[in-house]
Copies of this chain bind each other. A is one copy, B any other.
Amino acid sequence: MAHDEFAIIEQYFTAIGDSSDDVLLAVGDDAAVVELAPGQQLVISMDTLVGGVHFPVDTNPADIAYKSLAVNLSDLAAMAASPAWFLLSLTLPGNDSRWLSAFASSLRQTADDFKLPLIGGDTCRGELSITVQIAGTVPAGQYVTRQHAKPGDLILVSGELGNAGLGLALKQGRLDLPQDLQTHCLLALNRPQPRLELIPFLREFASAAIDISDGLQGDLAHVLKASHCGAMISRDSIPVNSWIRQQQAYQYALGAGDDYEICCCLPARHRGEIENWNLEHPACRLTVIGEITESGYFLRQGEDLVDLGNAQGYQHFD
């Protein structure tokens, strides 16, 4: 697709996003050139979305474009890095100009909204697949990793968990939901909000953070492993919608993934900061769901204690 490729890049993928002064050379050469201010560190992430695996192949191309940026932005938010630019590698089965147009137009809108310039990448022919490589900057030393949670730290999550999983189940006809919840859950699935507003909070207070795109249970386990500690979380503290609470369908909040909320840990002395945050950011509430411990990984569920350290734990007991 040598000839097509250049035409596709020129037609659809030039001048995407607000370009900032530090982008010296963007789409159209062998590579892009970017300059960083001294004292800034660069945070880099790459995610691939494959049609039929990460999304049904008939998903609206505008949603695919939005989500391919949103999931990468969520990775940056989890590291407390401010978005700087992105690259896109797009693999397409054919030259479907309606699909491409809708995809590119949504990509442009999303990149503009997040002030994120597209600086390079490529297109090729093959099964539908989208790889985004994103970079963000952070003042030297202020990035947040999975590695420094400490026993006694509070464990928090942003937003409401399980909605994206419900949206997918609904779309696949695996369950039915009240009408007012349907729109809400499909929006959570197709238009997840990367929690960029949390960046300053994480830089100031968080000891560890992760983006819970693979589900709270598994992603918190990554923090525990990287920080060499344990956790006790409480099922009834997990922020979920009323349907999940009524149906006791907490598996959507714990395991379904695709929520793109942030799970972070912070020393208990900052508890007051959480209240301040919630007063000022009602749309991105932080909820304390438990505490970091020396070892073990448990879920308090009424009178029971479920061992989440066993990978199969939750599914067994629920």
Contact = CB atoms under 8 A, between A and B. Distances in A.
A41 B34 contact: yes
Classify chain A's interface size: 35 or more
Nearest to A51: B126
A30 B218 contact: no
Contacts of A88: 46
Contact of A46 (B47, B120, B146): B120
B42 A79 contact: no
Given A33-B43, A41-B33, A78-B30, A126 B127 contact: yes
Nearest to A85: B44
A75 B79 CA distance: 29
A31 B131 contact: no
Contact of A38 (B33, B38, B91, B226): B38
Contacts of A53: 1, 124-126
Indicate how many identical chains form the complex: 2
Contacts of A91: 48, 50, 129
A119 B122 CA distance: 21
Nearest to A123: B48
A170 interface: no
A259 to B, nearest CB: 13
Nearest to A147: B29
A11 to B, nearest CB: 15
A63 interface: no
A133 interface: yes
Top 9 nearest A-B pairs (CB, nearest first) are A31-B45, A50-B126, A127-B127, A133-B133, A30-B75, A30-B78, A48-B89, A38-B38, A131-B131
Interface of A: 1-3, 6, 24-25, 28-36, 38, 41-48, 50-54, 75-76, 78-79, 81, 87-89, 91, 119-122, 124-127, 129, 131, 133-136, 138, 140, 143, 145-147, 210-211, 214-215, 218, 222, 226, 257, 311
